[in-house]
Amino acid sequence: MQDNYNFNSMDIIRFMFKHKWPIIIVTLVAAIVSVIVSMTITPKFKSSVILFPKTQVSVSHALTTAELIDPDDHIMNFGDEEASEQLIQTLYSEKIRFAIIDKFDLLHHYDIDSEGEYPMTKLHEEFSDNIRFKKTEYQAVQIEVMDTDPQMAADIANEIASLLDETLNKMQNDVAVEILKVVEGE
């Protein structure tokens, strides 16, 4: 409160010596509480899968020689940012979410009372907390699963990757069938 007060490090040392017992007691209590709390936290294990999207090149384009001239459109290239975003959007689809929930009985696994209030909302919140999809710095997509059981985390991550592959193949197959119908009609 003084106008010309000069604060220096000796003031801090004096303050600490003057109030050493309350500082020591608060530090010890905080250390004991933090140890007790850390012992009650259930450990979670992380499993992750990294997927590289492929470039979307049409068959007719792949069979032309123009592909050989333009290295950015080569059929063997990995996908770009748009392909990564499409993969992530597919991973967030309800089809994949519900398939994982059903296959691994996550309602029971996460101990959510199915007769309680809003069980599906709680299940989806738990799913979102434990399963994440993100783009890596090299335009790949990482599936990250956290679970109290390490084998369950690995199984869920692998199943999500498998379901993603099935979903993308089915979508591409559906388009190919439509194109075949058009070509046969011609």
175 and 91 fall within a common domain? yes
Residues 71 and 101 in one domain: yes
Phi, psi at 45, each rounded to 5°: -110, 145
- DSSP 8-state secondary structure symbol assigned to residue 104: T
Span 142-155, mean pLDDT? Answer: 96
Alpha-carbon span 113 to 106, nearest angstrom: 11
Q: If pLDDT is split at 50, 70 and 90, which confidence band does 153 have? A: very high
3 domain residue, yes or no: no
CA terminus-to-terminus distance, the chain:
91
- Residue 75 has a pLDDT of 46
Average of per-residue pLDDT across 70-97? 75
Helix (H, G, I), strand (E, B), or coil: what is residue 52?
Answer: coil
Is residue 4 included in any domain, yes or no?
Answer: no
Domain containing residue 32 = 9-40
Residues 122 and 67 occupy one common structural domain: yes
Give the dihedral of Cα atoms 150, 166, 109, 44; nearest 10 deg: 30
| pLDDT mean across residues, the chain | 85
* Domain shared by 54 and 29, yes or no: no
Compute φ and ψ for 3, nearest 5 degrees. Answer: -70, -35
Which pLDDT score is estimated for 183?
A: 83
Residue 125 pLDDT > 90, yes or no?
A: yes
pLDDT band for 44, please (50, 70, 90 cuts): very high
pLDDT for residue 20: 92
